[in-house]
């Protein structure tokens, strides 16, 4: 008997993948957590029946989300990651030798523990001596934070349920407060092609809290529609311009300075529908 995992992207639009085995499943305090081995996507982690990360393309997502803001900053010593309990963003962050501390705050400790146990491709950053992992609410953390950070990365779930608070005006304003002068924010901001209204709303809220906010994109085939947007906001540097380059053995599969700059080139349709440029 065949076992398939199916995610409904939108009404009338689904993604299905054949499952080889169920690696782990648990109902946590916040959500249904499962990890599967699949034939075409490799190992995947799902929350409430939604793929959060897949072995096939997670490196595109995580390298895009993390390295764009970190390389746009001249010296990112203190980094805060909100969400990202699978460890992928932390793994990429600690590749930067300039980083002295990387704080990860995720509301669901079970996701972190499952990732440590069952996602060896994602979880290498947890053992880094510069990593500090906190189980807690990201919105409350930035609201109460006293420390300041050079870069904040928001590796959140979709803007529903427990992740909804990470897409509010209050949250982005709080992040701007905890950033040092010249600091940057990068956040995943959904698919600009099939959900432009959602992306436009998120982009406007971020732009309202920062003097500079720019949308950039990357292909992520396992996410709804296969194309994903990120927003990088800044209190100083131009997010489009890398201030440093990866040198030595970085083990990068997607990011490069050239990809960094080109990721900010938006089609006329996205400019019109999301950022409202060209109207």
Helices (H) and strands (E) in the chain, counts: 8, 12
Kindly state the DSSP code that residue 189 receives in the 8-state scheme: -
Question: Which of 57, 110, 155, 158 is the catalytic position?
Answer: 155
262: helix, strand or coil: helix
Q: Which of 88, 175, 113, 112 is nearest to 140 (CA)?
A: 175
**C-alpha torsion sign, points 118, 124, 128, 133:** negative
Q: Is 155 a catalytic residue?
A: yes
The three-point CA angle 264-168-29 to 5° equals: 110
CA distance 200 to 194: 12
| DSSP-assigned beta bridge partners for residue 101 | 78
Which residue numbers are catalytic?
155
């Amino acid at each position: 008997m065949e076992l398939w995992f199916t995610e409904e992207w939108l009404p009338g639009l689904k993604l299905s993948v054949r499952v080889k085995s169920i690696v782990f499943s648990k109902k946590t305090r916040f959500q249904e957590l499962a990890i599967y081995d699949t034939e075409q996507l490799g190992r995947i982690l799902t929350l409430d029946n939604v793929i959060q990360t897949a072995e096939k393309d997670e490196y595109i997502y995580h390298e895009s989300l993390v390295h764009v803001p970190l390389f746009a900053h001249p010296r990112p010593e203190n980094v805060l990651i909100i969400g990202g309990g699978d460890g992928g963003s932390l793994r990429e962050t600690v590749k930067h030798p300039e980083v002295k501390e990387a704080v990860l705050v995720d509301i669901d400790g079970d996701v972190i523990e499952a990732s440590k146990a069952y996602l060896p491709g994602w979880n290498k950053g947890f053992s880094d001596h510069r990593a500090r992992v906190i189980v807690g609410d990201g919105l409350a953390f930035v609201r109460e934070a006293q420390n300041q950070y050079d870069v904040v990365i928001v590796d959140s779930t979709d803007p529903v349920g427990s992740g909804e608070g990470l897409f509010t005006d209050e949250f982005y304003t709080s992040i701007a407060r905890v950033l040092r002068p010249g600091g940057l924010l990068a956040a995943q901001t959904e698919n600009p092609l099939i959900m432009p209204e959602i992306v436009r709303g998120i982009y406007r809220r971020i732009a309202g809290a920062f003097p500079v906010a720019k949308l950039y994109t990357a292909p992520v085939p396992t996410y709804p529609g296969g194309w994903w947007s990120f927003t990088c906001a800044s209190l100083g540097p131009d997010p489009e311009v890398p201030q440093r380059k990866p040198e030595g053995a970085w083990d990068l599969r997607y990011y490069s300075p050239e990809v960094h700059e080109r990721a900010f080139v938006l089609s006329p349709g996205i400019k019109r529908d999301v950022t409202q440029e060209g109207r």
